[in-house]
Amino acid sequence: MANNIQMGKTLDGAVPGGALTEKWDQHRFDMKLINPANRRRFKVIIVGTGLAGASAAASLGEMGYQVEAFFYQDSARRAHSVAAQGGINGAKNYRNDGDSVFRLFYDTIKGGDYRSREANVYRLAQVSNSIIDQCVAQGVPFAREYGGMLDNRSFGGAQVSRTFYARGQTGQQLLLGAYQALERQVHAGTVKLHSRNEMLDLVLVNGRARGIITRDMVTGAIERHAADVVVLGTGGYSNVYYLSTNAKGCNATAIWRAHKRGAYFSNPCFTQIHPTCIPPAGEHQSKLTLMSESLRNDGRIWVPRKVGETRNAAEIPEAERYYFLEEKYPSFGNLVPRDVASRNAKVVVDEGRGVGPLKNGVYLDLSQATARLGQPVIKERYGNLFDMYERITGEDPYSLPMRIYPALHYTMGGLWVDYNLQSNIPGLFVIGEANFSDHGANRLGASALMQGLADGYFVLPYTLPNYLAAAKLDKVSVDDEPFRAVAAEVNGRTEKLLSINGSRSVDSFHRELGHLMWDYCGMERNEAGISKALELLPALREEFWQNVKVPGAAADLNQSLEMAGRVADFLELGELLALDALNRTESCGAHFRSESQTPEGEALRKDDEFAYVAAWESTGKPGAPILNKEPLVFENVKLSQRSYK
């Protein structure tokens, strides 16, 4: 455990009693309801219109609540969920291969290395089938078999085929379905959209979340918005690493500003490295590109057996190819979970077996599948991914193996929420990737879309009204002192950023932060490296506030100002991430401490010490948070060392 950490309280996740299989059904019955005629009296603010936010806004709007949705894109359908490729899980068992709700629950708990709350994960598995039905009813064009049934494919960490997909653009199709439902409510007058608006702070009134402060990104106007409840569905924080598969606009400002207002931030060190991304081509890059995990269904991952190999892939005979995942994990092969695949790719590249001009990748080879199935079948399954790969690399993946390497992709950490998806701040709900709740220390592929839609369509529409029905809420106005005070703070922060007028660009600070985080808190971590990060981060943050140059004005379209605020938050969040990583001396899932591994090099947990959710509380001083803990209790699965061999 890191030294000098102030210990806080033990948290209660508000998990209902009863059998695991009955908790959610009984809880839905026990929750308070609001009469349909009374719902229009309540206003709900939703920040973010990805799958979680859009589905929540559409659902609550259709129920009759007044909903206002805020997003920084020019259209709600351009939220980053649009970039998800591979698929969405559902325990339909259409393949009759042994799947079930309980198996999906078990695979998710195990895949997360036993660091998630059982009840939440079971509920996720339980509603997964309803999600598929909902999306089909919306017209989402899932792939179908010859007879018309929905098709499935496999993803990492499972030995069944449960992933529904729409080629390599599943996220886009799901988001279009949610967007259509959202626009229907806009037309009906129950939802109002605020495009090109960025949330810059949370407003509390008498200890409850009652509104937000936003900046109009076109005019620069700082605006105050009041409501009865606030919902954050703003995604994760992978861009703290600078290079990630996330869009450049993805940021942590909404959840970080909520954290600084008192919301607990859970497990920030649980950051996922995706094993199949296009390797960096040089220092000039500002982001990385995902190649869907679905490619591992038909692709084989290999490197040359010879260290320092210089021949092209086609010149290397089969006997001299090292299919390292298939050899090491015969039961799962190339479909091991993401954390396992990523670490093993790093090992072989570090050994000197890397491929490509910079020797910084491994091969993902679909040549055998193409020969077996024919190019038309491969094109039907993965055509858009192959086209994207060729446009980026200039290489034809139909004739050459793809080159891939792990990259930052998803964050399992996020704001702490209870079983009802409510943070420790009453009236502040957090959904989708913005919360910590379902994936433990490692998310299985095709589960992010599942969680986002589960939260928005099938969980929040029950739990949020339960809060509103029980809470005694005073009327508030944007002219009240709490709103004026927070807006003044936001204006002050903006003016300070513009007034520094230093010599370094915002991007240079972000890039340096990313290098620092990747080098010391990346795929493999150790005490010396994390301690070095904690030594360098405060100095970098101090230099930022003394030497950053933000051109332009506040009352205008100013992307440099937008990025400056986000990078300022990343600099603080990065320090909390490193502190959490230092404190958690075990290895679990994607958090791999080199001091804690099995003789075979696998993650070695310390259940006696770390079977808890770390929920960090801000004290207003960077680097000095309070650690609250929610113990994790496992009554339905047995804690064991993960094995995919």
Give the CATH number of the domain where residue 396 resides.
3.90.700.10
In the chain, what is the greatest distance between 2 CA atoms, to the nearest angstrom? Answer: 74
If one compares 479 and 285, the residue with the highest pLDDT of the two is 479
* Same structural domain, 282 and 401: yes
Q: What is the mean pLDDT of residues 590-609?
A: 96
Query: Can you tell me which residue has the tokens 């506040």?
Result: 554
Query: Can you tell me which residue has the tokens 């339905």?
Result: 636
- Beta strands 66-70 and 265-266 are unpaired
Q: 4 pLDDT band (50/70/90 cuts)?
A: confident
Half-sphere exposure of 312 (CA within 13 A, CB side): 6
pLDDT of residue 3: 60
Q: Is the pLDDT of residue 76 over 60?
A: yes
Residue 416 lies in a domain: no
Query: Can you tell me which residue has the tokens 């808890």?
Result: 612
Identify the three-state secondary structure at position 206.
coil
Q: Is the pLDDT of residue 1 over 60?
A: no
pLDDT of residue 6: 94
pLDDT of residue 541: 98
Taking the C-alpha atoms of residue 413 and residue 577, their distance in angstroms, rounded to an integer, is 9
Structure tokens that stand for 582 in this block: 């230092």
Nearest to 506 by CA among 560, 542, 570: 560
Residue 157 lies in a domain: no
* Same structural domain, 489 and 590: yes
* Model confidence pLDDT, tens digit, residues 143-181: 999 999 999 999 999 999 999 999 889 999 999 999 999
Average confidence score pLDDT of the chain:
96
338 is catalytic: yes
* Model confidence pLDDT, tens digit, residues 366-408: 999 999 999 999 999 999 999 999 999 999 999 999 999 999 9
Residue 175 lies in a domain: no
The one catalytic residue among 338, 381, 403, 443: 338
Structure tokens that stand for 543 in this block: 């230099």
Q: Is the pLDDT of residue 35 over 80?
A: yes
Beta bridge pairs of residue 89: 163
* Same structural domain, 403 and 486: no
Q: 290 pLDDT band (50/70/90 cuts)?
A: very high
Q: Is the pLDDT of residue 221 over 70?
A: yes
Structure tokens that stand for 166 in this block: 């729409």
Half-sphere exposure of 273 (CA within 13 A, CB side): 26
Q: What is the mean pLDDT of residues 248-277?
A: 97
CA angle centred on 38, ends 33 and 42, rounded to 5°: 90
CA angle centred on 613, ends 608 and 614, rounded to 5°: 100
Residue 87 lies in a domain: no
Beta bridge pairs of residue 47: 70, 232
Give the CATH number of the domain where residue 525 resides.
1.20.58.100
Q: Is the pLDDT of residue 2 over 70?
A: no
Residue 212 lies in a domain: no
| Buried b / exposed e along 494-520 (16+ C-beta atoms within 10 A) | beebbebeeeebbeebbbbbbebbbeb
CA-to-CA separations, 472 to 145, 248, 295, 621, in angstroms, rounded: 53, 41, 52, 33
CA-to-CA separations, 299 to 158, 171, 295, 445, in angstroms, rounded: 16, 21, 6, 16
Taking the C-alpha atoms of residue 485 and residue 499, their distance in angstroms, rounded to an integer, is 21
* Same structural domain, 607 and 493: yes
Range of the domain at 395: 274-408
Residue 569 lies in a domain: yes
* Same structural domain, 398 and 500: no
Taking the C-alpha atoms of residue 305 and residue 555, their distance in angstroms, rounded to an integer, is 59
Beta bridge pairs of residue 214: 199, 223
Nearest to 85 by CA among 159, 160, 163, 179: 163
Q: Is the pLDDT of residue 73 over 70?
A: yes
Structure tokens that stand for 56 in this block: 């929540």
In sign, the C-alpha dihedral spanning 313, 318, 322, 326 is positive
What residue spans of 548-641 are helical by DSSP H?
Answer: 559-583, 607-610
User: Where among 364, 383, 408 does a domain terminate?
Assistant: 408
What residue spans of 354-480 are helical by DSSP H?
Answer: 367-373, 375-393, 448-453, 460-470
Task: State how many domains the chain has.
Answer: 2
Beginning with the edge strand found earlier in the chain, give each strand of the sheet holding 402-411 in spatial order: 271-277, 402-411, 362-365, 300-304, 321-322
* Same structural domain, 284 and 394: yes
Report yes or no: 389 and 308 within 8 Å, Cβ to Cβ: no
Q: 283 pLDDT band (50/70/90 cuts)?
A: confident
Residue 241 lies in a domain: no
Residue 404 lies in a domain: yes
The torsion angles phi and psi of 151, rounded to 5 degrees, stand at -85, 160
Half-sphere exposure of 54 (CA within 13 A, CB side): 27
CA angle centred on 409, ends 75 and 449, rounded to 5°: 60
Report yes or no: 51 and 449 within 8 Å, Cβ to Cβ: yes
Q: Is the pLDDT of residue 104 over 80?
A: yes
* Same structural domain, 487 and 602: yes
Q: 296 pLDDT band (50/70/90 cuts)?
A: very high
Which residues have C-beta within 8 Å of that of residue 301, sequence separation ≥ 6?
Answer: 323, 324, 325, 326, 334, 341, 345, 362, 363, 364, 365, 404
Q: What is the mean pLDDT of residues 446-462?
A: 98
Taking the C-alpha atoms of residue 26 and residue 33, their distance in angstroms, rounded to an integer, is 14
Q: Is 331 exposed, middle or buried (0-12, 13-18, 19+ CB in 10 A)?
A: exposed
Report yes or no: 555 and 507 within 8 Å, Cβ to Cβ: no
Q: What is the mean pLDDT of residues 488-506?
A: 98
* Same structural domain, 502 and 599: yes
Q: Is the pLDDT of residue 25 over 90?
A: yes
User: Where among 379, 408, 437 does a domain terminate?
Assistant: 408
User: Where among 408, 441, 462 does a domain terminate?
Assistant: 408
Taking the C-alpha atoms of residue 328 and residue 541, their distance in angstroms, rounded to an integer, is 42
* Model confidence pLDDT, tens digit, residues 335-359: 999 999 999 999 999 999 999 999 9
Report yes or no: 526 and 238 within 8 Å, Cβ to Cβ: no
Q: What is the mean pLDDT of residues 304-316?
A: 96
Q: Is the pLDDT of residue 284 over 90?
A: no
Report yes or no: 45 and 68 within 8 Å, Cβ to Cβ: yes
Nearest to 157 by CA among 643, 635, 570, 596: 643
* Same structural domain, 495 and 585: yes
3-state DSSP: the chain helix, strand, coil percent, rounded to 5? Answer: 40, 20, 40
Half-sphere exposure of 602 (CA within 13 A, CB side): 14
Percent share of the chain, pLDDT over 70: 100
Residue type, 359: K
pLDDT of residue 451: 98
